[in-house]
Structure 1
Amino acid sequence: MNKYSYKDLPSRRERLFIALRLPAHIQHSLRLSAELVQGKLDFRKWTDHRDYHITLQFLGDTLVSDIGQLRKTLRSAGAGFQPFELRVSGWGTFGLEEAPKVLWRGIEGELGQLNLLQKRIVEATSSLGYKAELRPYSPHITIAKKFLGQVPGNEDKGIFGVLPEQDLSDNSWLIQDFVLYVTQPGQTPMYEVVDAFSFS
């Protein structure tokens, strides 16, 4: 978002979402575990490790001219929130087990605080016209999308039969802020931070 002035392109739309970043050591560990799986499962798209995140709210296409007010609203939503700790947990999928749409890693820790933060953000952005998703909030880290099939030699094991056990030794971190991301299609990494919103 710092590549151009808001005043220059007020009518341009950007695809935005709000999320928790992962620290570099968590991204690295997740990348290593994903690489173990890539040789056993065939997914169309594997998330670049620098794009690993926990989504709080998807906002969709937003006018550049509206981003200033959005940032002000998010700054207020995060002010005074208490830091909390999260941990990476096991593997999971969305969709049919034999042909899942998404392969993900779960989240443990102070989930009550995470859910409270997500609810606060959704309530704050509703005043700007953004809608909450109808499905219940399910925090996760997307590792891959669109299953194409088993790699030869692994067909009889099923997806969960080839996934490694819990493999992160240092898998917890302290949440002290959240970020507004813009999606940059065709780039790697694909998500760029527009702004960060500290609890302090």
Structure 2
Amino acid sequence: MRTFIGIDFDVKVKDGIKAVQSIVRESSRKGRFKYMGNFHLTLKFLGEISEEQIPSINKVLEASAKEVGSFGLNIEDIGFFGGKGNIRTLWLGLGGSLASLDLLYKKIEEGLEGCGFDKEKRPYMPHITIAQDLILKTGFAELRESIDLKDIPVIDAEEVSLIKSEEIQGKRIYTPISTFRLTGK
């Protein structure tokens, strides 16, 4: 099964992200837009795993969640990863308790390395993907000017989950397999 580790958001945060995404959609000629239910923050993409690997992954997540308490994140930026003539990935960037997020990320990376998963070679850049393969009607600077991120509520990161990603009837569906509350020491 295809999986990743992530942090889900409450519906008020997802509604705020959806409002931003609507502005992007209106400003675009074409693109693929993430479903509201799929808005999340990825900590680590695992790819294909077996059922037998789940208990060891859960041990890492449980231990990491015991070391890092809940924290808040703000959506503070909009940006993109390039492509050929289009925007490959349009994302929302984060601020707030980034030190806590980074600690959680590092604990998970270190723990999973002991389970045979490769450490990520690129620096961790926390972001929320809202669209892909985007072609805008105007320039990106104009789009950025038209978006106000202040109305999106604070993300209360209280849990971390192992999440299954599958395609069902042509739609990508994310389903939590296991979830651990961030309790700190």
The TM-score normalised by the length of structure 2 is 0.89
In the alignment, what sits opposite 1:197?
180
**Residue 69 of structure 1: CA displacement?**
2.1
Identity %: 25
Pairing 1:114–2:101 present: yes
Deviation string for 1:1-55 (max 9, x for gaps)? xxxxxxxxxxxxx111001111110101111121122121134311001101111
Give distance in 1, aligned partners of 2:47 and 2:172.
19
Larger gyration radius, structure 1 or structure 2: 1
In the alignment, what sits opposite 2:142?
161
Give distance in 2, aligned partners of 1:74 and 1:55.
14
**Residue 168 of structure 1: CA displacement?**
3.9
Cα contact 1:90–1:166 (8 A) shared by 2:
no
Cα contact 1:89–1:166 (8 A) shared by 2:
no
Give distance in 2, aligned partners of 1:97 and 1:29.
29
In the alignment, what sits opposite 2:168?
186
Instruction: Say how many residue pairs are matched.
Output: 181
Cα contact 1:41–1:159 (8 A) shared by 2:
no
Runs of at least 5 residues in structure 2 that lack an aligned partner in the other structure:
none
Deviation string for 1:133-170 (max 9, x for gaps)? 211100000000112x33xxx3xx31231242324424
Partner secondary structure for residue 69 of structure 1:
helix
Cα contact 1:54–1:140 (8 A) shared by 2:
yes
**Residue 98 of structure 1: CA displacement?**
5.3
Cα contact 1:90–1:165 (8 A) shared by 2:
no
Partner secondary structure for residue 54 of structure 2:
helix
The range that moved more, 37-46 or 25-34, is 37-46
The one-letter amino acid of 2:140's match is I
In the alignment, what sits opposite 2:132?
145
Structure 2 vs 1, CA of residues 189 and 38 (structure 1 numbering), >3 Å: closer, same or farther?
same
Structure 2 vs 1, CA of residues 101 and 131 (structure 1 numbering), >3 Å: closer, same or farther?
same
Structure 2 vs 1, CA of residues 185 and 167 (structure 1 numbering), >3 Å: closer, same or farther?
same
Partner secondary structure for residue 136 of structure 1:
coil
Partner secondary structure for residue 142 of structure 1:
strand
The one-letter amino acid of 1:162's match is L
Cα contact 2:4–2:162 (8 A) shared by 1:
yes
In the alignment, what sits opposite 1:133?
120
The 5 Å alignment of 1:1-200 reads 14-96=1-83, 99-147=86-134, 149-150=135-136, 154=137, 157-163=138-144, 164-186=146-168, 188=171, 190-200=173-183
Could you say what the CA RMSD is over the residues aligned between the two structures, in angstroms? 1.8
**Residue 86 of structure 1: CA displacement?**
0.6
The TM-score normalised by the length of structure 1 is 0.83
In the alignment, what sits opposite 1:9?
none
Segments ≥4 residues shifted beyond 3 Å: 186-189
